[in-house]
Homo-oligomer: A and B are copies of this chain.
């Protein structure tokens, strides 16, 4: 389907429900609230929903938002590749035929909606919407501009990562013209951490282990460390990027204890190694530079399994 068809859809109905994915990030929320703002601006009724309460961290995206009462007519999912990502609170929408349209940028999209628009080359769903709204010749409000900027910035690591496209930069330039406080947004999204998070990082880094001539580093987060930090689960995101930030490290591993004998392992690699292949050997998977798996056992057993596999990868004979 193309932008003309989506435009037609957005003009044809009166009431829209917009679904965002569980453990929501800046792109699903930014896209959802931007779309809602535009639809309401067109005189429609629209709501954004999530499996749980919207995280306060993203409060600036919905500070002027209040849910409306209406009878649902049309359902749009944004940034949702699979109905599993709806979460238990929205599981009713997982039934076939419940979602009318899905707008997404994941190549792995499961095509669960009646109609699906996927652009796997788009840095963010917010970028697809930015282009869509331009196609529709919509004058964005400042609120919509804040939401779209946040979606694009968060999904690209503030224009830092490989998935950043020239189009992402052009959109940022266009959105900045709306007078948004982009540096304040970036500070909230990328710089500010809770005191608990900072102290947890500190104690994890203090105990970081190095293997194979410092070419591998391993960050270990135990239940005890998590409990002592007093942090929300969502605050643990992003820890997996720490081990690879150390100069010379080619494989960065993060081991996070989920239950007594179950550990979630995240692997991050530089160009020389395939994280996805590494994690597949433990029954996991993911992308070339970022992948994950789950391993059972004591912490020592898990570390032994990981280092044995790493030894082979690095080509060490003993």
Contact = CB atoms under 8 A, between A and B. Distances in A.
Contacts of A241: 191
Contacts of A186: 160-161
Contacts of A191: 160, 241, 244-245
A310 interface: no
A193 B246 contact: yes
A85 interface: no
A31 to B, nearest CB: 20
10 contacts: A159-B159, A159-B169, A160-B186, A160-B191, A169-B176, A194-B247, A195-B246, A198-B246, A201-B205, A202-B202
Interface of A: 158-162, 164-167, 169-170, 172-174, 176-177, 182-183, 186-187, 190-195, 198-199, 201-203, 205-206, 208, 210, 214, 241, 244-248
Contacts of A173: 166-167, 169-170, 173
A161 B185 CA distance: 10
Nearest to A184: B271
A186 B214 CA distance: 22
A241 B244 CA distance: 21
A173 B168 CA distance: 8
Given A161-B183, A164-B182, 13 more contacts: A158-B159, A159-B169, A160-B187, A166-B174, A169-B176, A170-B170, A173-B173, A191-B245, A194-B246, A195-B214, A195-B248, A198-B205, A199-B206
A286 B232 CA distance: 37
Contacts of A183: 160-162, 164
B195 A247 contact: yes
Contacts of A205: 198-199, 201-202
Contacts of A187: 160
Contacts of A208: 198
A205 B206 CA distance: 10
B158 A246 contact: no
A202 B206 CA distance: 6
Given A195-B214, A198-B246, A246-B195, A160 B158 contact: yes
Contacts of A176: 164-166, 169
Contacts of A174: 166
Contacts of A199: 205-206
A161 B162 CA distance: 20
Contacts of A182: 164
A218 to B, nearest CB: 13
Nearest to A203: B206
B192 A247 contact: yes
A209 B214 CA distance: 31
Contacts of A198: 205, 208, 245-246
A186 B164 CA distance: 11
A199 B202 CA distance: 9
